[in-house]
Structure formats: structure tokens, C-alpha cells
Amino acid sequence: MEEQFRQKMYQRLINMRAQILENILAENADFMDATSNDSVKDSVDLASNDIDIRLLETIGAQDVNRLKKVEATIGRINNDRFGLCVKCTKKIDEERLEAIPYAALCIDCQKGSEHR
């Protein structure tokens, strides 16, 4: 894989990591506000507050999952394994990596894992 492309992807992943961490911190603050809201008056407010909390938990879990993938990909770059499928070790197309910089599987392996 071309070094220039690898460096470009590395920078995108670093920026992505920073954005995800910023989102997690913001969601954490929102979660703390939602759970400490003492102004709840009736069952509608309780239900709305509960929905807000569950939504924030879901969004937070998605961000944490994406952060793990980004961190793993940064590790693969540092170990000269970036762009290789973690399952079959074939080269992942650059177009796929442009679309999903933290893609760990080639198209064929990804399709196979989705069929299961």
C-alpha cells in the first residue's frame, strides 16, 4: 500500500478518534443531566426522561464500538498491517478504506460474516 495513502488514512483516523471522544464526553454530560433531573413531575415526564436516557446509552455504546475499531486500525497501521483483511489477509481495496477507514475485512469476508 502506498505510504502517502497510509498517512492520509492515519490522519483521518486520528481526527475520527478525536471526534468520537468529543461525542462521548458530550453524551456523558447529557446523560448526567438526564439522570440527575429532579424536576420530573408526572408519568409522561418520567417516560420521556427514560427514553432520553436509553437513547443516550445506545448512542454512547455505538460511539464506544466505533472508537474500538478506530483504535484497532491505528494499531494495524503502526504494525504495518493496515489494508490487509484480518480474516484472510488479502488486500482491502483502497475505495473501501476511503469509505470506511477502520474496515478490518475485505468485501468477500464482510459479505460472508453478514450471511451468518
Give the tens place of pLDDT for each residue, 1-52.
699 999 999 999 999 999 998 887 787 666 566 556 555 455 655 556 666 6
pTM: 0.72
Distance CA 103, CA 113 (A): 13
Residues 69-112: tens digit of each pLDDT: 999 999 999 999 999 999 999 999 999 999 999 999 999 999 98
Q: How many domains does the chain have?
A: 1
Q: Is there a contact between 5 and 94 (Cβ–Cβ < 8 Å)?
A: yes
Looking at the domain assignment, is residue 100 inside a domain? no
- Whether 53 is covered by a domain: the verdict is yes
For the chain, how many helices (H) and strands (E)?
Answer: 4, 0
- For residue 77, give its domain range: 3-82
> Does 10 map to a domain?
yes
| Residue 74, domain member (yes or no) | yes
Per the structure block, which three cell numbers stand in for 1? 500500500
Query: CB under 8 Å to 59, separation ≥6 — which residues?
Result: 23, 27
Nearest in space to 27 (alpha carbons), one of 54, 59, 50: 59
